A and B are shown apart, each in its own frame.
Chain A
Amino acid sequence: MPENFLTQPDEQGHWGVYGGRYVPETLMAPLEELNAAYAAVRDDETFQGEYAALLRDFSGRPTPLHYAARLSALAGGARIFLKREDLSHTGSHKINNALGQVLLARRMGKRRIIAETGAGQHGVATATVCALFGLQCVVYMGAEDVRRQRLNVFRMELLGAEVREVQAGARTLKDAINEALRDWVTNVADTYYLLGSALGPHPYPLMVRDFQSVIGREARAQFVEREAGRLPDALVACVGGGSNSIGLFHPFLGDAGVRMIGVEAGGSGDKLGEHAARFNVRGGGRPGVLQGTMSYVLQDERGQIAATHSISAGLDYPSIGPEHAFLHDVGRVEYVAASDADALAAFRTLSEQEGIIPALESAHAVAYALKLARELKPEQTLLVNLSGRGDKDVQSVADAPRPENATDRAHGETVGGVELP
């Protein structure tokens, strides 16, 4: 069975029924060209060497593996380790993908880079790498996200990028992707679309996962070295589009003893529109096609895409990467949700207990990790991907009402709950 996880996707980018390429014809040939260009560098030593050098010298990899002693003691169960992606240059894992794709864009001779951004982390990473290589950079960002992630807008502009505010729809990540796709379809001859998550048409979900897998490869080696050859009992990561989580999970997929838990945004409630938990079937999540890929999509009964809500802009998206949809259906990864209140509480807890201010996205993973650690035994271990740092969220957290009675919760029967061999 494990090899089944690792041999996906097929030539057309399918993981089971998920993935594929659902785009207007204008983009089909450019996607084939991108796929061919990526296939040519995937095993190319020069390219991979250049990429590894940038990760080391520009981004500061490897990122540390931190044993969170006080947090573990507070939970009173399993020992909790944090993979410190927040210490990457620009403050999140997004730089891993931006560096890889810009190297590819340069090989393809593209001088203009466009990107979408939700929380602004991918936009900042893209703007940073474009500055490094002297490329033109345009970032699409929903007006609501511009409002709640103002600091990142300023950072992108300092880095020389043009930030275009998107007023359509709910004015969040989904709407930014629509605008980026419209730009790409119009300027496809000279423009490279640097998609920031493991989403969209093939080859993006594969390519982004590959570039982010450095997280899991490093974490696995660091953990094994530190813990005398043992692997963690469970991995926990937040899932918006799903790039930080797939980057952590993928190198462990063949390790049958390692549980994996993806934490979605439970938002403020279970009703459609109140959350961004795509695997919450009662809450409106079911398979569908959005923005180039087939996956779980939050939608109404007519197939119109639903509004989503999360306190965290980076998780506020109605669909999820197709590989996650596949891993959900085969039961290899469990998916749960943490609410806005849970995330806010974890944001404060991690700050107070470990001296680390997490991104609100990552705080969702921390919230569930605290709950899971309590259920596990002290000799067990849990590895959390701390995907980004929280400077950008300080204002949102200050403005939020101080949470009372925040509870960790999982959404009923949609949680995988698989018994692994």
Chain B
Amino acid sequence: MSRIADTFARLRAEKRRGFIPFITAGDPTPDATRALIVELARAGATLIELGVPFSDPMADGPVIQRASERALRNGVGIAEVLAVIADARRETDVPIVLFSYYNPLLQFGAERLCAEARRAGVDGMLVTDLAPEEATEFAATLRAHELDLIFLVAPTSTDERLRRIAERASGFIYAVSRAGVTGVQSRSSAEAGQLVGRVRAVTELPVAVGFGISTREQVADVWRYADAAVVGSAIVAEMEKRGDAPDLVAHIGGFARGLLPP
């Protein structure tokens, strides 16, 4: 059983729900990312999504676009991201999923990427612009290295697509709460609950909900129907506000704790 599957199985057994923070690797620095992984795990993260920066993040709103730009200016690519994870692994065994676009992964080479990612302690990957139709080879390489391939589902996904995706997914399913790019939204989406219901009808895999989840109330709302809530832009925006302040890591740890319902 993978570390991701294991983690969700434990949550279910304990009748608890999960919290998945997202940060962009290398923002503001690789050192900060390493410390943040450890701190977010301590703060109660079920799993951490680590964004691998890409120059053209078409599924991301302005907050994560800017974080990617900062990380790229720091010269952070896949090799640097993996080094940070390998470092963090000495202090935490929280599951880590790489969240990226296909081109940088493809150019690194799927085989080399999976071998090195596995060695560094990565548990899975989510590739925003790689739907199951184009993922056959990449999925096989991940499987061969015992890495989970996480797929997105969206309110626009037909039931037939949900079935097709569930057949190929492992670890968990990431449900996009609404049609749109990543970013903070003040209201919860009613669509998300319906989508999770449709996903449950085709798979036993755990379901996490993300995109636009930014407050404790929204996390609590998602916990009513899904296995986990993903918070990305709200955390990244908070980091942007603090810049490279010396207490950044502690502050973000506190911010993350504040997102967890009692």
Q: Are A289 and B131 within 8 A (Cβ)?
A: no
Q: Which residues does chain A contribute within 8 Å of B105, judged by CB atoms? A: 303
A168, A291, A301, A302 interface centre (most CB from chain B within 10 Å): A302
Given the contacts A174-B56, A186-B181, A188-B156, A24 and B107 also touching, CB distance less than 8 Å: no
Query: Could you tell me the distance in whole angstroms from the C-beta of B126 to the nearest C-beta in chain A?
Result: 11
Q: Which residues does chain A contribute within 8 Å of B78, judged by CB atoms? A: 302
A21, A168, A174, A303 interface centre (most CB from chain B within 10 Å): A303
Q: Are B161 and A12 within 8 A (Cβ)?
A: no
Q: Mark B26-57, 1 if CB is under 8 A from A, else 0.
A: 00000000000000000000000000001111
> B48-68: which residues lie under 8 A (CB-CB) from chain A?
54-59, 61, 65
Q: Which of A28, A186, A291 contacts B180 (CB 8 A)?
A: A186
- C-alpha spacing A48/B57, complex, angstroms: 37
User: A55 at the A/B interface (Cβ < 8 Å)?
Assistant: no
Q: Are B55 and A26 within 8 A (Cβ)?
A: no
Q: Which of B58, B61, B165 contacts A24 (CB 8 A)?
A: B58
Q: Mark B167-210, 1 if CB is under 8 A from A, else 0.
A: 00000000010011100000000000000000000000000000
Q: Are B157 and A303 within 8 A (Cβ)?
A: no
Q: Which of B107, B152, B179 contacts A303 (CB 8 A)?
A: B107
- C-alpha spacing A226/B238, complex, angstroms: 69
Q: Mark A271-292, 1 if CB is under 8 A from B, else 0.
A: 0000000000000000011111
Q: Which residues does chain B contribute within 8 Å of A24, judged by CB atoms? A: 58-59, 128-129, 152, 154, 176
- C-alpha spacing A304/B179, complex, angstroms: 26
Query: Could you tell me the distance in whole angstroms from the C-beta of A320 to the nearest C-beta in chain B?
Result: 15
Q: Which residues does chain A contribute within 8 Å of B180, judged by CB atoms? A: 26, 185-186
Q: Are A299 and B103 within 8 A (Cβ)?
A: yes
Q: Which residues does chain A contribute within 8 Å of B99, judged by CB atoms? A: none
Q: Are B55 and A305 within 8 A (Cβ)?
A: yes
- C-alpha spacing A28/B113, complex, angstroms: 26
Q: Which residues does chain A contribute within 8 Å of B133, judged by CB atoms? A: 12, 20-21, 28
- C-alpha spacing A26/B178, complex, angstroms: 9
Q: Are A28 and B103 within 8 A (Cβ)?
A: no
Given the contacts A23-B129, A288-B106, A301-B107, A185 and B179 also touching, CB distance less than 8 Å: yes
Q: Are B103 and A288 within 8 A (Cβ)?
A: yes
> A168-198: which residues lie under 8 A (CB-CB) from chain B?
168-169, 174, 178, 181-182, 185-189
User: A227 at the A/B interface (Cβ < 8 Å)?
Assistant: no
Q: Which residue of A lies closest to B131 (CB)?
A: A28
Query: Could you tell me the distance in whole angstroms from the C-beta of A165 to the nearest C-beta in chain B?
Result: 15
Q: Which residue of B lies closest to A183 (CB)?
A: B181
Q: Are B179 and A289 within 8 A (Cβ)?
A: no
Q: Are B107 and A29 within 8 A (Cβ)?
A: no
User: B14 at the A/B interface (Cβ < 8 Å)?
Assistant: no
Q: Which of A12, A23, A185, A302 contacts B107 (CB 8 A)?
A: A302
Q: Mark A314-342, 1 if CB is under 8 A from B, else 0.
A: 00000000000000000000000000000
Q: Which residue of A lies closest to B105 (CB)?
A: A303
Q: Which residue of B lies closest to A306 (CB)?
A: B55
- C-alpha spacing A124/B157, complex, angstroms: 33
16 sampled A-B residue pairs with Cβ under 8 A: A23-B131, A25-B131, A25-B151, A25-B152, A25-B165, A26-B154, A30-B156, A169-B56, A185-B58, A185-B180, A186-B181, A289-B102, A291-B58, A297-B103, A302-B78, A302-B104
B residues with a Cβ closer than 8 A to A are: 54-59, 61, 65, 72, 77-78, 101-108, 128-131, 133-134, 151-158, 161, 165, 176, 179-181
| Top-7 shortest CB links A-B | A303-B107, A303-B104, A26-B154, A25-B152, A186-B180, A302-B77, A304-B55
